[in-house]
Structure 1
């Protein structure tokens, strides 16, 4: 069942999302060669609690940590560990937080030092596909419109779109209806309504779209061992149009990046 949010609830969700946005921004300066993902995980837990929130992933479905940390060929759900990041790695950091009873949940794939041109293209196209999908999240459209837009854009550039893992509705629960696949057909699926809130999160592989799950029950990697990228925003339908609740601006401020990619989707910060 899709849970429609009031304008007041959407504003509460915005603050939950911004807890995560600020956390990713804090981590942006810490992602560098020699740093372990377990160290970053501890920083994130402390920072979330300092903001009066609770880590949203810690203990959820028995997940053992605050962050899902997925380097290189790991797609999502990587478990933080003591192994140091290396120059040329990429790392997807997926973070969740609960504040005032609502979840925030979004992700960004960081470059660790300098990365090669092909991997940078993977990151760029995956992030661009996120906004291509967000444009279709508007009243009257359907789930398939978002999935089709992401898939068409991504595959046009030669990358594989993961099928088994999807975005989702978001609110008082981490995973609400509807599921939001990153592939699909136009005009198919549940219709979008005013007050809907979702997490849109394309997961794109440099090679095959196929994946495998590891014996730890969490870690997902590409089947061919090639890199994967993951970007995620929280979005609400306000006045019939998509409005970002999360932002990458804190990351960009930390890294000195100038971008207006969110401008058409963001009324408040």
Structure 2
């Protein structure tokens, strides 16, 4: 089951963002009655940042694999480096993630989605997390992200909560053909300057609000369907209860009638017994009268 579900998820999370929900619902409807219908229906729509990374993984697979390979090498080397070398290493890592983020924005733009700076920051943060944390690297390579990744390189990884399925860690997304590049081609490696912190937080909050509103709308629609189902079943339950009570009333009436018939039957049987006794007495009297008449005739 897990392998089939991963294949379905791989297909869904490779679609355009606007196509995800209708395609997921259609797939769940197609699988209605099977054990996969429920899990497919609960697959979460990715955030914009997660979708951008999922597209990057599919359309720039080779470049993403290089980023992950560099990240693994840097993690191995970091323990033996001194402070100066670590600072240089961090600078190079930032240059690489900034360059790949620029490419990710280009991929998304070619697919019809404009990436804001707030979303780009989340994409870059996801790439950084994948270079710092091996579990985050697996989550990114799965192409099944539902939200962006973040990691410091120490402490427990939150990669499992960022993917659509628990089995996603270790899964590799199916590659897709590279999208057409912009006339400027791939960007040169360069450090992207950090934006104003307040404006950055505001933009991130607006993006989070938009995504939350979208999820709320989906939840509201699902709740309305459930509410209607409850109302319909309550009405049916009341109807059945009314029918039960009517049948019970009719049964009570029949039981009362049956008791009355039983009483009348007892009285009729008593009358029949009395009539049989009277009949026998009348027969005896007749027989005696006939005997008396015969005796008189013989005299």
On whether the aligned pair clears a TM of 0.5, the verdict is no
Comparing both chains, which one has the higher relative contact order based on Cα–Cα distances under 8 Å and sequence gaps of 6 or more? 1
- Give the TM-score normalised by structure 1: 0.28
- Structure with the bigger percentage of strand: 1
Q: Which has the larger radius of gyration?
A: 2
- Give the TM-score normalised by structure 2: 0.26
